[in-house]
Amino acid sequence: MTASARTAEVSHPHPPMVDPPRSPHTVLAAALLAFFVISLDGSVVNVALPAVSGSLRGSMADLQWIVDGYTLMFAAFMLSAGTFSDRVGAGRAYAWGLAVFTVASLACGVAPDLGTLIGARMVQGGAAALMVPASLALIRQNYADPGKRARAIAIWTAAGSVAVAIGPVVGGLLTSGLSWRAVFYLNLPVGAVGLALLTRIAPSPRRPAPVDLLGQFSVVLGLAGLTYAVIEGGRAGWGSAGVLGTLVVAAAAAALFVTTQSRREQPMVPLSLFKSRTVLVCLAAGFTMNAVFYGAIFLLGMYFQQVRGASPVGAGAMFIPMCALISVVNMAGVRLAARKGARVPMAIGQLIMAGGALLMLTVTPHTSLVVPVLLLVPIGLGGGLAVPSLTAAILENVDAARAGTAAAVLNTSRQVGSCLAVAAFGALIADTSRFRHGMDTSFVISVAMLLVTATATALLLPRAPRKTVGQNPSGG
């Protein structure tokens, strides 16, 4: 089960049941569409980036923003999306999110320039953050039987795994066969079907829930400032006035967030949550694993096409071995954690990822393409083994009343890892004449981060066996 799934379960311990629709499977179908398209959008665009660059004449920094604009807003609004969903009703929140996401997808497809495309991607990300907890809340409200509800959520989670696995392939097929714009047009029929299904779903209950606007503003400002500084630092230099200025803004936003959360009676993120070493280790591990996983997809997507001259569909197909095994290894991670506790699969998984990243240093512009394709496999396998224990480990070490918040913070940390990895690694390969050096440096950083978090996991997490719940590396 994903962090978002756990958030929905905890945030609605005893929700008022609504009149059922003609079939609860209608609700599941609508929820599946949301998570599938959100997960797909997180990976489908990567393979299309070179084509976007050629069409709109974008720099490496522009391409980074196409990916990070989506991820940044998804991460930033995840913290308050569940609260907003409770406040207006899950059905209404889902409908608003899906409608905005669909319109933003159309705007991406018709974008005449990079500024419009990046702006529309940011709107997509914000809408996606709203849809995830709302779609899960709809499942919770419309499946009264715990067993049927668990199966529905398992199907929902599997949809995300499938989307991550086929994302690069779908992106390659659409880009090669039609245009990079088709990657975004794909969302239009999905959005239309989802909105049609919502007309058959009974209204969702609402409950009073405080929305921390100042806290939310500080999160968006801080993450945007940090991401901008990392991306522009690679292009304009770390000593430039613009980069230094945005770093100051990011620091001020972080200070504002800490101040507001410490003074509110009902903070968006209770600061006491970070007093737990288990929470801190899980947040660091989640950040690192997402950074390495999505950073590798970004790097190798560019390598296959810009360095090795592969077509978009060929580049997408090269990710199939890595992504196809994730769900299988997820289940192995669940079984191992049931016997040994969360610490063991988390530590082993991170070490496997580190081994794959380290072996990537052997890849050159003349290496057989089979080599990087095979070396991507341990990165996916390690993540698939380790990630299922993250949510269980963090939730079992916080009070039940804060479990939903802890899950949201974990999911946000993972998305921020993805965002900053693309920003930092993209800056390192921006100079195409030094592409290999930048890619090697990126994987050295990946190995170092994984070794640190794997060590912290082995030394600081509880040794007692824990019962865990599965989750896919994409996180949604």
Domain boundaries, the chain: 1-201, 213-267, 275-471
Q: What is the DSSP letter of 179?
A: -
Least confident piece of the model among 110-114, 289-293, 459-463: 459-463
Which superfamily does 1-201 belong to?
A: MFS general substrate transporter like domains (1.20.1250.20)
Q: How far apart are CA 323 and CA 316, in angstroms?
A: 11
Contacts of 85 (CB under 8 A, 6+ apart): 93, 94, 130, 133, 134, 137
**Is the pLDDT assigned to residue 18 strictly greater than 90?**
no
User: Residue 207 has what DSSP assignment?
Assistant: -
As given in the structure block, the two tokens for residue 276 are 């737990």
Q: How confident is the model at residue 352 (pLDDT cuts 50, 70, 90)?
A: very high
DSSP state of 306: I
Domain spanning 275-471, CATH architecture: Up-down Bundle (1.20)
CB count, 10 Å around CB of 193? Answer: 14
286 vs 421: CA distance, rounded Å: 13
As a whole number, the mean pLDDT across the chain is 80
Torsion, Cα 145 150 155 159, to 10 degrees, reads 130
| C-alpha pair distances (Å), 246 with each of 193, 210, 387 | 41, 30, 32
SS3 (DSSP) at 270: coil
* Residue 56 clears pLDDT 60, i.e. is over it: yes
Q: pLDDT exceeding 70 applies to what percent of the chain?
A: 82
Please name the residue ranges forming H helices in 89-145: 90-110, 114-142
- Residue 117: per-residue pLDDT: 92
Model confidence at 393, in pLDDT bands (50, 70, 90)? Answer: confident
Nearest alpha-carbon partner for 283 in 73, 72, 8, 475? 475
Nearest to 418 by CA among 291, 285, 229: 291
Closest CA to 475 of 414, 417, 428: 414
In the numeric block, the tokens 């989640």 are attached to 286
In the block, tokens 């999911």 appear at 411
CA dihedral sign, ordered 226, 229, 234, 237: negative
Does the structure show a pLDDT above 90 at 453?
yes
Q: Which DSSP string corresponds to 21-64? A: -S-HHHHHHHHHHHHHHHHHHHHHTGGGHHHHHHHHT--HHHHH
pLDDT at 101: 92
Handedness of CA 5, 330, 40, 157 (dihedral sign): negative
pTM over 0.75: yes
Contact 460, 341 (CB under 8 A): no
Distances (CA, A) of 389 to 79, 312, 333: 21, 34, 7
Lowest mean pLDDT among 60-69, 235-244, 401-410: 401-410
Using pLDDT thresholds of 50, 70 and 90, give the confidence band for residue 166.
Answer: confident
Cα gap 385→148, rounded to integer Å = 26
CB 361 within 8 A of CB 440: yes
Q: How many CB atoms lie within 10 A of CB 82?
A: 29
Please provide the DSSP assignment of 180-208 as one string: TTHHHHTHHHHHHHHHHHHTTSPPPP---
Residue 462 DSSP code: -
| Domain 275-471 in the same topology as domain 1-201 | yes
pLDDT at 139: 74
Question: Which amino acid does the sequence have at 130?
Answer: L
Percent of the chain past pLDDT 90, that is, above it, reads 20
Helices (H), 237-325: 241-263, 277-302, 312-317, 320-324
Per-residue CA distances from 294 to 11, 181, 406, 407 (Å):
29, 22, 23, 20
User: If you average pLDDT over residues 135-145, what whole number do you get?
Assistant: 72
Q: What's the CA gap between 316 and 173, in Å, rounded?
A: 8
Distance (Å, whole) CA 245 – CA 54: 31
pLDDT at 191: 84
Give me 251's structure tokens.
């620091």
